[in-house]
Amino acid sequence: MKKFFKKTIWISLICFYFFQIEIVRAIVPYYYFPTIKNLEKQSLYIGKNAYQLLYFGQYKESLNLAKLAVKINAKDEKLWLILAEAQIANKQYKNALNSLNKAEKINASISEIYFAKSNVYLKISQQTKAKSALEKGIKIEPNNHKAIFQLGNILLMEKNYLGAIKLFDKSIKIKPDFWQAINNQGLAYFERNNVNLSIKLFESAISIEENAEPLLGLASCLNIQNNKLAIELAKKALDKDPKYVNYNFRKEQLWGEKLQASTEILLQNEQLKKDVILAKSKISEST
């Protein structure tokens, strides 16, 4: 009986032991440890979502997702580029440059890194560094008409009008309907006192895109020789984009001192008084 009792206890203990193991297995969850490839896929997916949020103007949300993507996968230069774009949108320019430097260390042959750097340097008023970054990017991607145009704009800021004109011309040869470059050639030629050529260039830009900038530029060119047409063009320009009534806004668009002076004279015309007041009121309402 004693032996039987011992056996019974022994069997019970063994059963209890195995039963407890099953309970533990039932309580402890099963963890899936993703592979490196799966993590990389997830980081790219998060990065794409961050970029989409950036596109839709959700800058803070985009920044948070971009940071997460980089934490998961810090070896992908594309993710650092997305993070930099999100940081630029949030005006975190120093952080953006750090992100772009990390992207460059991973892969120095991507032109977008240098174009983005140039954008940041322009925002913090470092034109020399912006120019250098653009030149590096253009060496990698020599037919990028927008980058060439931007380099021309920097030369325009530096009042190197001939250099700017050459770059704008190069940009137009790559993309003949690039009205912005044609327009900016008009800006440069006006500062070089070649008003007739500016007129032709502004007219050419308008034929592609009836934008407020070439309309007002042309109006300023024609003010002396054809005041009636100049007023008509100025009215149309201010109606399309009231911001062009503002001197500082035109300066941001790289209008030179001579064209600015001509435009200020035009806008003081009595026939444009109501249009100028209306444009200024629209600007006040939008701010």
- What angle do helix axes 59-72 and 36-55 make, rounded to 10 degrees? 170
Residue 78 within any structural domain of the chain: no
Q: Cα–Cα distance between 152 and 284 in angstroms, integer? A: 32
Q: Which residues have a Cβ under 8 Å from the Cβ of 57 and sit 6 or more positions away? A: none
Residue 209 within any structural domain of the chain: yes
Q: Which residues have a Cβ under 8 Å from the Cβ of 206 and sit 6 or more positions away? A: 179, 214, 215, 218
Residue 239 within any structural domain of the chain: yes
Residue 42 within any structural domain of the chain: no
The CATH number of the domain holding residue 284 is 1.25.40.10
Domain that holds residue 196: 177-287
pLDDT (tens digit per residue) in 218-277:
999 999 999 999 999 999 999 999 999 999 999 999 999 999 999 999 999 999 999 999
Number of domains the chain contains? 1
Residue 264 within any structural domain of the chain: yes
17 confidence band (pLDDT: 50, 70, 90):
very low
| Torsion angle in degrees (nearest 10) through CA of 133, 134, 137, 141 | -170
- Decide: 90 and 114 in contact? Cβ < 8 Å: no
Q: Cα–Cα distance between 64 and 50 in angstroms, integer? A: 8
Is residue 7 pLDDT above 80, yes or no? no
